[in-house]
Structures are given as C-alpha cells and as structure tokens.
A and B are shown apart, each in its own frame.
Chain A
C-alpha cells in the first residue's frame, strides 16, 4: 500500500509582526498580524480562510506565497522549506505557487495589452518564447479562462471587472501551477460576476487538479466553495471546520454565521444579541482576543490564550468554553 500523500503545504508556528513608527521620532509600535498559525493544506482540496478586518487572512496569504517573509515559523511546500530556498530555488517554486489578487486592475500594467500581460510571467521567469509559441500561449490561456481570443489586443481598461479577473487567473495559470492562493478574488465584483468566477475556479480545479487556499470575508461563499474552513480572529486561527457544514464550536464562528444573511426571508436571523467591535491588532488583550465580545468569557479567557485543540474528526477549536 502506498504511503498516504503528504499535505501539499505545511505551516508551523507561523508569525508575522510589523513594526511602524508613530510620527518621525515617535515610539515604534508592533502589530502582530499573524500569530502561531499551524495549518496543513491538503492536495486537491479547497481550504477556505475566513475572517474580518485585521484577522490576518491577507497577511497569511502573502506569507504562503512568500510575498512577505515570516517573523517566525516555517512553511513547507511539497517537502521544500520555503525559508531555506535560494533566490533561484524560490523562482522555480514560484511556477508552482501562484496568487490571484482581489483587484486585478492594480495587478496588471495599464499600458500592457492583454497579450503582453499574459506573457509577462514568462518574461519574469526568463522563458523565451518564439512569436508563434507566444501566440499559442496567449490563445491557450484565454481559452482556459473562457475569454474570446480577440481580447488579446485589448487594454485592461477596455475589459469589464469580471474579464479582468479572468485575466488575473490566466496569468496565475501560465506555468500550470499546483497551488493557487486566491485572496478575495471576487470581493470587488457584482454577484452575477462573482458567481461566474467561482464557477470558473471550480471547473479549473477539476481540469487542472489544483489545490486552493481561498481567502474571503464571506462565510456564505466559503461554505459553498470550500472543503475545509479556517476561521481567523485578530491574527490567530480560532477554529477549523473539517467540512463546510460542521457546527461551529467557537463563539466567534457562531457570531460570524449569525451575521451571514441567507437569501431567504423565511430564515431571518435574530441578531439582537450581537455587540462589540473588533479590537485593534496593535494592543491585543492578554487572553483570548475575542473575550471582550464573547458572552461566555470568564477570568480564564481574559488571562490565558486558549490553545487550538483538534479532535478525532479534525475539528479544531481554540476556546475554553466551546459550544456543543
């Protein structure tokens, strides 16, 4: 019997601290954007990361594709430790690890034609293509994201938001990667276009055998699209749902679910109990970061940070008083 396949990405003790200075001579302030994250990303699955402003989900995405270097901890991709890679080694790995951004408009040079934008990844990687090869590549990538080949000579501003995001996806697919990190890829799109893009991502995943890390603030969308859901709050993973319909045990996940309105007026939520604001990541409280908003918080919660504990079914919760 073959050994069970190792997870594609293994994240251990990952942390990122940003320092900023208040004014020219002011004290430096430290912002812990991501703290002690352990996470495995299984092959061929969609792992969703959900949370609100300041939860660290976008920082996590940037750490995983190494647009940012971690302050502590490690990320292993298919057995290779990203921290140990030389620049050349990292460049080779970049072909296999790609990112799709929320705003494709800011990721594409406005002076490039769509064909130029689609060929840019090859330039960056130092791959020389003949004119015929380049043409064939552009056609192939446009086909992959279901765009007409005639768009090759257009400029980004001539495209709709949905078309631009398809170009963003096509660029990420240029080297047939194994792993795509999708950072809120539909957040700035209309719902009809969001649904198109999600459908495309579903098809591409099957066709190309991709693994996704899908970052979103939209729990409804994550529950539809993802196989597993990681919930973050102020830099930490507070819960991992092993399957999208699993019942939340962390009070924050429960709150997030209660705040997500179903498109069904017969299922109105009672949200009268919901209070409080998200604290600043600059001065995090000593204990559980959610304690200030939590109905179940006690002295322990305010003094100690609860550890993320995983049960036999892979359901992980960081809470002293989990719901059942």
Chain B
C-alpha cells in the first residue's frame, strides 16, 4: 500500500473550486514530482495534505487523503497538529517563511525534536548538530549559534531541511525548495534531497515548475493543469513519450542540447485564473489537438494500456480507434 494516497480531491475556497478531482500516490523511498505552472494548484494540493486549508478559508469538498492508513480529511485539528512536523514535514520555497529571524537557528531546529520527540535540551542540541553535519553544513557547531540573517540563502534552506528531518518524518513535501537559489546551490540541494530519500526511505513530494529538476530527481510525475491532473506516469516514460498535449508542450518549452534556433515556441495564451476556468477540458483554448468534444465534456483521467494515466479526449480517441 502506498504511504500517501490522494484520490478525487476537490476543494472549495469561499465558493471557488481551484482543485477538481486530484489523485496520485507516493511510496516510501520515492520522489513524486508535482509539476505545473503558476495557478495549476500545486501549492494548494500541498496545503490540503497538510490540513492547512482552513488557514486560507478553504475546505476539502470531496475526496480522500489517506496517509499510512489514516484518513486525514476526517482528522480533528489536534490530531493533524501531531502529524505535521512529526510524520509529515514541509519545506517551503522561501526559507524565511519557516525561520524565526530573531532566534538562533540551532534553537529552532531543537524545538522540533523537543516538541515531537520529547528530547531534553542537551539531547536535542546533539541531534541537531549531527543532522546539520549530515546535511554537509560546514562548521555545524558554529552555525548552530548563528541567526538566520547571518547565513546565505542556500545555507538557510539547509537549516529548513534539517528542521524538516529533525522529527524523522515519513513524508516530506517540498514546495519549490530550490527556485529562489543560485543554480550551483540548487544542484547541491537537489542532490541532498535525493540522498535523503535513498538513505532514509522517506517519501518526497517535490513541487516544481522546473522540468529539469523533475528529470534529474523524480521517480514518478504528476502534471497538473488548472487544478486537474492532465497526465501521470513514470519519469522516463513521461519524458520519452508524453501523451497529453499539455505535457508535450511543457517539455518543448525547455531548451535542450541539439535544439535548433527558432524551435522554442512556448504555449499560446496563459494559464487561466480560477474565476475564468474554461468549460470541458480546461486546456482546450491553448491545445493544438482540440476536438469538438473538448469544450463540452471534462475528459476523465484514464489509465493507459502501457502504464500511466491521461485525461485527454484526443488521446482517448486515438486509443479507441487505433
């Protein structure tokens, strides 16, 4: 059984419905890439799993989020609070949203293991410094006493990852963890996350818009468009044979070796805002393969004969008619 199983997740925020029938699962020791552009619903999916929708005035309207056999959507807030930070950890894009600027970073990491694992001050400090060393923070015992502003962006993000790991979580959700960082630092952080998954067997949901990072790190990919799953598949399959027209276009937006000048085209138009979601398939106004049925009916996410799942009328028509 998968560690996390999200199915048919739909949410409601003050009458608008930004997520519609999201489904995927993550296994231990695996990295799932949740991919899409701004407004695709990646971060809202993360908030839903963390049970934090009420913070933005939202609620789960339909569907289920099962974590290690526990139905999260049915848990009261105190139970969720015991899971958050302990078994499900979160890494945000901007480390300063997770760090207190007036508290030394060591004390902040200690808090996690003191709160969730009941360690005393001395044991917590030893655990924090050992973890910092594992994350290759140079002079960890010194950095432990620093304030966040004394550290570089990459180092702050390492501190946030240390905090996330401090209570030995089973699932980590990382929302664009490297987007704000320089490329050489981004590469180090991605490497670090990959090692953590391999060595500790945690499950990682990596939320990103960067197809390069997905190709480098993920085992499985879920492509979101305007609050729905467009396609999901193994990472090799999705890059070798993308089937949804949106996935195909998204991959063609990234320059790669051997591309001739003028071959980068982009996708016409832009991602619609929640208030202006088109009828039927939400990608149809931008889609090169649009059929008569596309504006009329929502394409269901259909499992494909050779693995993966695609929500596209044009793909379904090809499968049925050969």
Chain A residues with CB under 8 Å of chain B are 52-53, 160-162, 190-199, 202, 217-221, 223-225, 245, 255-256, 258-269, 271-272, 274-275, 277-278
Residues in chain B near residue A223, CB distance under 8 A? 255, 257
Residues in chain A near residue B210, CB distance under 8 A? 191, 261
Q: For the complex, give the distance between the alpha carbons of A220 and B259 in Å.
A: 11
Q: A55: shortest Cβ distance to chain B, in Å?
A: 9
Q: Does B102 contact A (CB under 8 A)?
A: no
Q: Does B91 contact A (CB under 8 A)?
A: no
Q: Is the CB of A277 within 8 A of B185?
A: yes
Number of interface residues, chain B, beta carbon within 8 A: 47
B211 to A, closest residue via Cβ: A263
Residues in chain B near residue A52, CB distance under 8 A? 182-185
> Among the listed B37, B191, B239, B270, which residue makes an inter-chain contact with A274, where contact means beta carbons less than 8 Å apart?
B191
Q: Does B261 contact A (CB under 8 A)?
A: yes
Stretch of B119-127, B160-168, B246-254, B291-299 that contacts chain A: B246-254
Q: How many A-B contacts at CB < 8 Å in the complex?
A: 137
Q: Does B209 contact A (CB under 8 A)?
A: yes
Instruction: Render B226-264 as a binary contact track against A, CB cut-off 8 A, 1 for contact.
Output: 000000000110011000000001111111110101101
Q: For the complex, give the distance between the alpha carbons of A190 and B256 in Å.
A: 17
Residues in chain A near residue B185, CB distance under 8 A? 52, 277-278
Q: Is the CB of A195 within 8 A of B259?
A: no
Instruction: Render B195-232 as a binary contact track against A, CB cut-off 8 A, 1 for contact.
Output: 00000000000000111111110100000000000000
Q: For the complex, give the distance between the alpha carbons of A198 and B212 in Å.
A: 18
Q: Is the CB of B239 within 8 A of A265?
A: yes
Residues in chain B near residue A192, CB distance under 8 A? 37, 249-250, 253, 266-267, 270-271
Residues in chain A near residue B305, CB distance under 8 A? none
> Among the listed A161, A162, A224, A272, which residue makes an inter-chain contact with B255, where contact means beta carbons less than 8 Å apart?
A224
Q: For the complex, give the distance between the alpha carbons of A262 and B152 in Å.
A: 26
Q: Is the CB of B187 within 8 A of A271?
A: yes
Q: A46: shortest Cβ distance to chain B, in Å?
A: 9
Residues in chain B near residue A269, CB distance under 8 A? 187, 216
Q: Is the CB of B215 within 8 A of A191?
A: no
Q: Is the CB of A199 within 8 A of B266?
A: yes
Residues in chain A near residue B235, CB distance under 8 A? 265
Residues in chain A near residue B211, CB distance under 8 A? 191, 263
